[in-house]
């Protein structure tokens, strides 16, 4: 695999931060290219003030903030409208990742990203980019029976919506370590008529213990097995994980199949944003 193909595959990558992690980064430009899309994870219990402050910091430094809107922690339409207004007016935000969220029970009237879309508030606020969640390994939160029935139906609905909205849409996925599962999933949704571009989630360099903990929390089943297998190899146990293999496999597939629907890489910097930056520099 040529470094040029990998460089092309990684071009325009995005990263994800929490307000806490962002507060420790004085200048994002020390780590990532200017203009990089930076998702802001809205963890349950995080005050909206911290989210807006983080978004403003990111945008003011010349990057592109995309805060999460987890439906289950948004009480009602008034709260949703307030959040959108504050992001727009205080931080100049016009991007959003719409997700159901990980809360066990909805705080109020919303429990799915479809309901957020149906509010029409994002279109009214002229949000330019609306991204939605993708689940290459399924989601037990959405399909407790282990199937992909609800996930597939929701994706189909959102695909139809993408044809009606002026906003640019993309599917941003949960992270995975298994390239074959990702390729199969991406091809399957394309065959099902889903033509929204995919931004594939990739775990950044981190200790194996960290990866395993996040994998269990996020319910990425096939990926957990891969990490557990690696952990059994004592020669690798103390070495930090790097996503070299999955990036190489996906970049190779993309080079051989230019119409492949994965267009961008979205890094979850589980070991830190500097580690992601260093990995990208080495890979390219």
Q: What pLDDT digit, counting tens, does each position of 157-184 carry?
A: 999 999 999 999 999 999 888 899 999 9
Q: What pLDDT digit, counting tens, does each position of 35-80 carry?
A: 999 999 999 999 999 999 999 999 999 999 999 999 999 999 999 9
105/216: higher pLDDT: 105
Confidence tier at 2 by pLDDT (50, 70, 90): low
Residue 215 pLDDT greater than 80, yes or no: no
Rounded mean pLDDT of 272-277? 95
Domains and CATH numbers, the chain: 3-279 (3.20.20.220)
For residues 62 and 97, the answer to whether their CB atoms sit within 8 Å is no
For residue 282, report the phi and psi dihedrals to the nearest 5 degrees.
-65, -40
Concatenating the DSSP letter of every residue in the chain gives --HHHHHHHHTT-EEEE-HHHHHT-S-GGGTS-TT-EEEE---TT--HHHHHHHHHHHHHTT-EEEEEEEGGG--SHHHHHHHHHHHHHHH---EEEEE--S-SS-SSS--SHHHHHHT-HHHHTT-SEEEEEE-TT--TTT-TTS-SHHHHHHHHHHHHHHTT-SSEEEEEEEE-S-HHHHHHHHHHHHHTT--S-EEEEEEPSB-HHHHHHHHHHHT-HHHHHHHHHHHH-HHHHTSPB-THHHHHHHHHHHHH-TT-SEEEEEEE-TT-HHHHHHHHHHH-
């Amino acid at each position: 695999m040529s470094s040029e193909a990998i460089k092309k595959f990684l071009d325009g990558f995005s990263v994800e931060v929490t307000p806490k992690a962002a507060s420790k980064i004085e200048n994002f430009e020390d780590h990532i290219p200017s203009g990089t899309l930076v998702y802001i994870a809205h963890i349950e219990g995080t005050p909206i003030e911290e989210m807006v402050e983080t978004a403003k910091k990111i945008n003011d430094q010349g990057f592109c903030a995309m805060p999460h809107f987890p439906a289950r922690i948004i009480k009602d339409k008034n709260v949703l409208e307030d959040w959108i207004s504050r992001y727009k007016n205080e931080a100049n935000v016009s991007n959003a990742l719409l997700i159901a969220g990980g809360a066990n029970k909805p705080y109020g009237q919303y429990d799915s990203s479809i309901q957020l879309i149906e509010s029409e508030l994002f279109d009214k606020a002229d949000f330019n980019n609306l991204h939605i969640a993708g689940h290459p390994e399924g989601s037990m939160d959405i399909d407790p029976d282990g199937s992909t029935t609800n996930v597939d139906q929701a994706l189909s609905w959102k695909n139809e919506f993408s044809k009606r909205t002026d906003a640019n849409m993309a599917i941003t996925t949960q992270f995975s370590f298994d390239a074959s599962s990702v390729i199969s999933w991406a091809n399957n949704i394309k065959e099902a008529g889903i033509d929204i571009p995919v931004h594939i989630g990739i775990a950044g360099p981190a200790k194996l213990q960290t990866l395993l903990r996040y994998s269990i929390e996020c319910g990425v089943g096939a990926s957990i097995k891969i990490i557990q297998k690696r952990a059994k190899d004592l020669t690798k146990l103390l070495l930090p994980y790097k996503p070299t293999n999955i990036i190489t496999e996906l970049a190779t597939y993309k080079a051989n199949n230019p119409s492949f629907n994965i267009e961008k890489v979205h890094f979850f910097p589980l070991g830190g944003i500097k580690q992601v930056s260093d990995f990208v520099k080495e890979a390219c």
